[in-house]
Amino acid sequence: MATINVQRPERLTLAERLYLPAILNGLRLTWRHIWGERVTLQYPEEEREFKRVYRGVHRLNKDDKGRAKCVACEMCAASCPAHCITIKATEVEWPERDKIPKIFEIDELKCIFCGYCVEACPEDAIQMTRHYHLIARSREDMIFGLDKLLAIYDETKEQEVLRGVDFGVIRARIPGKEAGNPDEVQKLAYPVVGVVTKAETHHAQ
Amino acid sequence: MISQEQLIVSLALGLVLMLAMTAGAGVFTFFERKIAGWTQGRYGPNRAGPKGYLQFLADGIKFALKEDVIQDYVVKPVYVIAPGLMMIPALVLYAALPIGKPFVWNGNEVHLQVVQANVGVLYLLAVASIAVYGIVFGAWASNSRYPFFGGVRASAQMISYELAMGLSIISVVLLTSEPGINALSISNIVAGQTGYWFGFIPRWNLFANPVAFVVFLVCMFAETNRLPFDLAEAEQELVGGYHTEYSAMKFASFMLSEYVNMITMSMVMVTLFVGGWHFPGIEAIGSQVIQVLLSIGAFGIKVLFFCFLFLWVRWTLPRFRYDQLMHLGWKALLPVALASALGTAIAIALRV
């Protein structure tokens, strides 16, 4: 008959069987933690700061005359896997373009924040900001129209955001593709950089 | 016959302690959550009121306003009285404990003690054992499997640990016993701890018999159903244990009595092993009033330390497995407590 030799655990020493030394060690550890560092982010007062590759709420960029850069080519709507972009174009007699969007709506609830629209845009008109506060009281309010998207641009004008060309750098990390500059890739790799404290906001009671 | 002064002090003390204990238990729940946070690198509740200190009020109001569900299948009379049965022992246990130095008022000696029972130690043991009835009744009346398991576990655990606890208290009684002194009276036990060895080490029973101290410490956690011995409400296994079927204020009183229990057990611990109201250097203080106030303060600080220890240990240790619990109770603590009682007896016999 075949026998199986089972490796029995070694007998514990007296100190181990008394539990007490181990318990004291544990107490010392938790004592250090009680006085140690707190890792919780106090959300309404503090927020994470992201690198510019963070894909947050969209914005529609304006040109130097304060008009939407968009030429209503519908490349973004075509590339959108979630079909959350609706564009109705209207014709204009401007020297540099002949079409602008009459309606430009992004359903932020349908959006999966993949960033394909940003990559597809030939005019760098649609971009994604680092804002991640997407709050509304109804589903209708979550459909952002032209005004809202342009207003977000005004708010985030100073922000350095994800550009269409960044996708080339990110893609380069995929095996089989041409390798990108490792420093560039590293800069884009992990989106969290730190914490911003907003002293002026009040405690949410 | 007790003097009028003693009567006034006892009644006032009973009232004040009762209110202080219930309020203290509420604050205790807040610090439980705070320390849980701190040990885990979080802040703990910090939104309700300044720095979150009103959290316990918010919790209390929430419990009071919640719907009190009584299921159809429970045994209603028992179900309803169970939380009270749990609360009462927790709130009467401290009656026999002196919280400060006895003093002289109008020529009468007054003890800062609600009841000056001459068999106070027996009273402690008796009331502490009754506490399990609240759990068992609640568990049984819930008419549901998980609470039932919780109740069975709680009673088995209480029986196992009460033995070792009683034996470690016997060591204390033996240490106090001297010809002509009633060693079962708790004020005598405290008075017996007021001297010094070599002039500077206080004669606290903790130093006289550290083994009994450790045994009592472990049993204290088991008696209050606190981690690492909270098998009665092991939420991973038994949902909520014996209070699974309870809601609103009934649940809250189970919860509160757990915390009141912790405070009273800390008080018992301090009284029996850490010298009660005694602190080194108390004899050097001239004024009687200051002496009494400082002695109450010393008692309070010691109790707070043990309350903190409860929380500290809870957030440090994982729960015992049930067989380990029984093993520890019967095969480890019981023999050790017996040996300690025997050793103390022999030492005293040799000394006398």
> Hey, are the CB atoms on A38 and B313 less than 8 Å from each other?
no
Question: Residue B103: its pLDDT value, please?
Answer: 79
> Would the pLDDT of B285 be above 60?
yes
- CA–CA min distance B263, chain A (Å): 20
> How many residues in total does chain B contain?
352
> Would the pLDDT of B65 be above 80?
yes
Residues 29-48 of A with CB under 8 A from B: 29-31, 33-40, 42
Look at strands A58-60 and A99-107 and give their pairing: unpaired
Averaged pLDDT of chain B: 84
B contacts of A202 (beta carbons < 8 Å): none
Task: Specify the DSSP element, H or E, that contains A192.
Answer: strand A192-197
Of the partner residues B47, B214, B315, the one whose CB lies closest to the CB of residue A30: B315
Look at strands A85-91 and A99-107 and give their pairing: antiparallel
> Hey, are the CB atoms on B316 and A34 less than 8 Å from each other?
no
Token pair belonging to A19:
């539990």
Interface test with A, best of B32, B33, B35, B38 (most A CBs within 10 A): B38
> Would the pLDDT of B203 be above 70?
yes
* Closest chain B residue to the Cα of A202, Cα to Cα: B47
φ/ψ (deg, to 5) at A193: -110, -35
Peptide bond into A191 cis (omega under 30): no
The Cα–Cα gap between A34 and A28 comes to 10
Of the partner residues B35, B41, B315, the one whose CB lies closest to the CB of residue A36: B41
> Would the pLDDT of A64 be above 70?
yes
* Closest chain B residue to the Cα of A25, Cα to Cα: B316
> Would the pLDDT of B131 be above 50?
yes
Residues 2-21 of A with CB under 8 A from B: 20
> Would the pLDDT of B239 be above 80?
no
Averaged pLDDT of chain A: 80
A contacts of B39 (beta carbons < 8 Å): 30, 33-34
Question: Residue A183: its pLDDT value, please?
Answer: 63
Interface test with A, best of B39, B53, B213, B309 (most A CBs within 10 A): B39
Helix axes B334-351, B145-176, angle to 10 degrees: 10
Taking residues B204-212, report their average pLDDT: 83
Taking residues A184-205, report their average pLDDT: 55
> Hey, are the CB atoms on A40 and B47 less than 8 Å from each other?
no
The Cα–Cα gap between B208 and B273 comes to 9
Lowest mean pLDDT among A155-169, A185-199, B198-212, B227-241: A185-199
Q: Higher pLDDT residue, A138 or A49?
A: A138
Of the partner residues B35, B214, B316, the one whose CB lies closest to the CB of residue A26: B316
> Would the pLDDT of B255 be above 80?
yes
Across A151-155, B239-243, B305-309, the highest mean pLDDT is recorded for B305-309
- CA–CA min distance B41, chain A (Å): 4
Taking residues A152-181, report their average pLDDT: 69
- Percentage with pLDDT > 70 across chain A: 81
The DSSP bridge partners found for residue A59 are A127
- Percentage with pLDDT > 90 across chain B: 1
Grade residue A203 by pLDDT with cuts at 50, 70 and 90: very low
Would you call A202 an interface residue with chain B, using a CB distance cutoff of 8 Å?
no
Taking residues A184-201, report their average pLDDT: 58
> Would the pLDDT of B2 be above 80?
no
Question: Residue A197: its pLDDT value, please?
Answer: 62
φ/ψ (deg, to 5) at B313: -65, -40
* Closest chain B residue to the Cα of A19, Cα to Cα: B328
Q: If we measure between CA atoms, which residue out of B344, B335, B303 comes closest to residue B192?
A: B344
How far, in whole angstroms, is CA A50 from its chain's centroid? 7
Lowest mean pLDDT among A10-14, A168-172, B171-175, B348-352: A168-172
3-state helix, strand and coil shares in percent for chain A, rounded to the nearest 5: 25, 20, 55
Q: Is the ipTM of this complex over 0.90?
A: no
Question: Residue B171: its pLDDT value, please?
Answer: 86
Taking residues A18-43, report their average pLDDT: 85
* Closest chain B residue to the Cα of A32, Cα to Cα: B39
A contacts of B316 (beta carbons < 8 Å): 23, 26-27, 29-30
Across A76-80, A171-175, B224-228, B289-293, the highest mean pLDDT is recorded for A76-80
Question: Residue A163: its pLDDT value, please?
Answer: 77
* Closest chain B residue to the Cα of A43, Cα to Cα: B47
Question: Residue A201: its pLDDT value, please?
Answer: 44
pLDDT tens-place string over residues A105-145: 999 899 998 888 888 888 888 888 888 888 888 888 889 98
The Cα–Cα gap between A146 and B37 comes to 45
Helix axes B4-39, B55-65, angle to 10 degrees: 100
Task: Specify the DSSP element, H or E, that contains A193.
Answer: strand A192-197
* Closest chain B residue to the Cα of A31, Cα to Cα: B39
> Hey, are the CB atoms on B316 and A20 less than 8 Å from each other?
no
Question: Residue A179: its pLDDT value, please?
Answer: 53
